[in-house]
Amino acid sequence: MFLKQALLILGILLVVGCAGRPQVELEIVRSEVAKAYVRGAKVLAPADYEAASAALHDAENLVSRKKYSHARELLNQALLHAAKAAAVAQEKAAELEIRRRAEIEARAAAAKKKIKLPVKKKPVPARPKPAPKPAKPEIVFLDQVTVSVGETLFSLSSRRDIYGEPLLWPLIYKANRDQIKDPQQIFEGQVFSIPRDKSQQELDTARKEARESDLFPR
């Protein structure tokens, strides 16, 4: 699916492309590389992700030197590598999730075999059923989160049940500095607090820090 999307975008770039500065192409490719990063491609598909990042970086340098034709060639390469990295990362993440669920089911089955059957008791008159609880909202915002394989501060902040905005990752970093030595290195199984009730000024400050940082895509 990601490769089909990349080919579609590539076709659009070929139509949009002209002799001038490829600003639209740059923004599209930056977005696709960022999407691959969020899906964990840096860990799950490192070869294609690094190839996409390197091609994008070289293209940006060529644009700054006004070598637009060569820059467009590298942007096309970066787009295809980013799409492949995203596809591979999604496939591997799905495999890991299937394996994780199988392990949970296996442990549950093993534990069930060890449970002794309870002694039968006299039936107790049925109690009236309690009134149904109100339906929970579609999204439950977390106050704590456990890091899964391939996740980063950038991808955690992007999750809809956390902030839904990747540029707010500095809030998670500051709240868990006792566990995080390097913002680019968090580990599976770590449990982070998710700060809530932040003022608009604090949110804007976090976004500014993220944009000024070179740690993650902007």
Residue 28 CB contacts under 8 Å (≥ 6 apart), including other chains: 9, 12, 13, 79
Which one-letter amino acid corresponds to residue 109? A
pLDDT value for 112: 82
Q: What is the pLDDT of residue 193?
A: 93
CA distance 43 to 97: 15
- C-alpha separations of 125 from 5, 40, 128, 178, 208 in Å: 60, 54, 10, 53, 63
Supply the pLDDT for residue 14: 45
DSSP-assigned letter for residue 138: S
What are the C-alpha distances in Å from 167 to residues 4, 31, 79, 182?
28, 14, 22, 17
Any bridge partners for residue 191, and if so which? 146
Question: pTM, whole model, 2 decimals?
Answer: 0.43
What pLDDT sits at residue 187? Answer: 92
pLDDT score at 198: 87
**Tokens representing 166?**
């990747």
pLDDT score at 136: 56
- The packing angle between helices 23-38 and 68-114, to 10°, is 20
CB 9, CB 29: distance < 8 Å: no
At 123, the amino acid letter reads P
Degrees, nearest 5: CA angle 25-26-32: 90
Which segments of the chain are extended strands (E)? 144-146, 191-193
Instruction: Flag residues of the chain having pLDDT under 50.
Output: 3, 7-8, 10-17
DSSP 136: P
Question: Which tokens go with 172?
Answer: 């998670």
